[in-house]
Chain A
Amino acid sequence: MGNEGFYQEFEVFSQRTDTSPLQYQFSLLAPNREIALVMAQENFMRREPAADIWVVKRSDIRKLTPEEKQSLQRLDNKDYRTTKGYGYLKKKWRHYEQEMLDEKEILSWGGMKKGD
């Protein structure tokens, strides 16, 4: 068998619905991406819905090596990036007789109707 061969590795990703994130499924062997694509749904999503499927040739994926995974470590000193660092505002707003606009409140605005 040549260095390409019939058994090439593909990684399969799928989306459950139009709004869900792409999720990793599993890997399969196929001679090319067209065949990989027609294998994907029935091999890994026989019992669940799929709104989209991606197949990616494994050799095209650059992953972290075990050593490089050490680059993922970071200190726990970054409160300033998150709401955690601004929690004191709640008490302050209370002083002005206002509610704090927290994550729950702000993300609820998307569904707000005019005049709410």
Chain B
Amino acid sequence: MDLTVGPNLFFWEAATVRAFYEGLTTAPVARVVLGEVVCSKRLPFWQNEIAQAADTLLSAGKAVAITSLALVTLKRERKATAALAEIGLPIEVNDLTALQSLPKGQPFWVGPLINVYNEGTLRWLAARGAVRVCLPPELPLDSIAVLARLGRDLGVSVEVWGHGRLPLAISGRCYHARLHDHAKDSCQFVCGLDPDGRDVETLDGQKFLAVNGVQTLSQSTASMAFQIEALREAGVTSLRMSPQSADFAQICVAYAARIAGTLTAADLAASLIAKVPGGRLSDGFVRGPSGAHWSGTATIGNHHGL
């Protein structure tokens, strides 16, 4: 089992992006997905970093792919999606729009925002050229096991959401702009103020969600710390590490140690609580009554806020 770094979901300064990917050259990750998945308006501010980061990471021996946007409605978004095929990197499809312009037979990756819930869908995507699929975070362990087994037969690597705030929804509407009383078209890029998303609490102060532009995330950071053995047993080949603003390379080191058996689940979880934004973890989609649930110890579980 190895680690894949997913596309950064947040809007960071170009210099921050550069430093982030330079910091990954020595991290124990096998591959990195670059590009903008959440909002096309952000791209002009940092797209020059993508080619640079790709060169840096490829030189460091990492595999690199480029993501498509998750929600494509505007003409320029369609053009940008069609142009991905010309970049020369594998495409991680996060909206099926990208398949329409992808030459048949060209291998591609499938991201967690594509609805791969069952064998029929995985089979169809594999026949179309999918070689790597990160499953939707919502899937429970028994579904993961069925799909990982089939993936092995089809020659498709199956990955699951290993670490990061969960991408729960995407909208035509920008909630970040709405919170600042701006319209989406004059958003003033306020999502850039919150490098890990803007926290949303319930009226009773329960830590619940985080707004990231047009995207809604969980406030808890999903972590497979306690599920490594079950996922390995199920046939999962990679964990998806979703970027956060602080200590990310160290977090990747800790997961690699956990996979290698030199760090316990409890020790990994304890170190994560000190490092993730808001200090809360969850793994309930994989094995629990709801996505927000955390199967860690009682002490850690109290962070759940319920």
On whether the two chains bind one another, the answer is no
- Interface residues of A, Cβ cutoff 8 Å to B: none
- Interface residues of B, Cβ cutoff 8 Å to A: none
